[in-house]
Amino acid sequence: MPRVVSATPRLKARAEAARRERRGAWLRRIGWAAAGLVPLGLLAWVLLGSSLLGVHRVVVLGEHRLTAAEVQRAVDVAQGTPLARVDTAAVARRVRALDAVASVSVTRSWPNSLRVAVVERTAAVAVPDGKRFDLLDDSGVHFDTVSVPPRGVVRLQGTSDADARQAALQVVRSLPLALRRVVWVVRASSPQQVSLVLRGNRVVIWGSADQSSQKAAAALALLKLPGRTYDVSSPSVVTRR
Report the distance separating Cα 132 and Cα 158, nearest Å: 16
Number of domains in the chain: 3
Does residue 70 share a domain with residue 19? Answer: no
Q: What's the CATH number where 202 sits? A: 3.40.50.10960
Does residue 168 share a domain with residue 113? Answer: no
Does the pLDDT of residue 39 top 80, yes or no? no
Residue 91 lies in domain: 57-120
- Of residues 41 and 201, more confidence is placed in 201
Q: Is residue 3 part of a domain?
A: no
DSSP 85: G
User: Is 137 in a helix, a strand, or coil?
Assistant: coil
Question: Count of H helices and E strands in the chain?
Answer: 6, 12
pTM score over 0.85 = no
Average pLDDT over every residue of 198-219: 96
Does residue 130 share a domain with residue 193? Answer: yes
- 104-121 pLDDT, tens digit each: 999 999 889 999 999 999
Q: Is residue 200 part of a domain?
A: yes
Does residue 137 share a domain with residue 197? Answer: yes
Does residue 62 share a domain with residue 36? Answer: no
Report the distance separating Cα 209 and Cα 159, nearest Å: 14
What are all long-range contacts of 68-77, with beta carbons under 8 Å and residues at least 24 apart?
70/98, 71/95, 71/98, 71/116, 71/118, 72/116, 74/98, 75/106, 75/114, 75/116, 77/114
Q: Is residue 2 part of a domain?
A: no
Q: Please, where are the H alpha helices in the chain?
A: 8-44, 68-75, 88-96, 162-174, 177-180, 212-222
- 170-207 pLDDT, tens digit each: 999 999 999 999 999 999 999 999 999 999 899 999 99
Q: What's the CATH number where 92 sits? A: 3.10.20.310
- 59-95 pLDDT, tens digit each: 999 999 999 999 999 999 999 899 988 999 999 999 9
Q: Is residue 173 part of a domain?
A: yes
